[in-house]
Structure 1
Amino acid sequence: MVFVIQGMKYDTEKMRKVATVKKWYREDTFLNRAMFPGQKVGRTHECELWKSEKGNWLLTHEMDYSKNMGEAITEEEAKELLMRYATPIYEEMFGELPEA
């Protein structure tokens, strides 16, 4: 899959898939606004986290059964997602987390 985001091309064929994570996305539709006025409505998507050779991060997920969405994220957000959903991978890439 190829995504062009803020003038940069993200090609998952040339990137390394790091982990499967989850992220909540807002679904701002007419129906949601009518049924839940003033509230933020959305759902959690299962996402694939990718890293490019240049160190850029991409989050992809499927939407509406066949439409692929891509979102460029910061390394900090990638770290947060890895800590929450793929702790062993986080520790492999960034070092062990301290014991509580």
Structure 2
Amino acid sequence: MKPENQNLDVPKPPPTANINSKERKIFAISPNQLDAWRIVPRLLVLLYGWLCFDTHQWITALPDPSSAQQLYASVIFTGAAAWFGFYVNSGRKQE
């Protein structure tokens, strides 16, 4: 039987790098900077642009699209105008 209080050889974690506070601030993004750069709205508009491009490639590759397929593409393209409108009207208002 092994004793219950056996000392296990657990490796110690490597020491953390000594980064001073000025270097640490370079990598940290404050909520104000995140809001000012509008990263999330730009990412959403970019993803919706990719969706529109992919839908356009799909609908033009079809030899004879049905009414349902044309309606689907139309809804995607109409939604792009709404997304762009939300993007343009979001953010800080100029006073």
Give TM-score, length-normalised by structure 2.
Answer: 0.20
Of Structure 1 and Structure 2, the greater helix share is in: 2
Q: Which has the larger Rg?
A: 2
Of Structure 1 and Structure 2, the greater strand share is in: 1
Give TM-score, length-normalised by structure 1.
Answer: 0.20
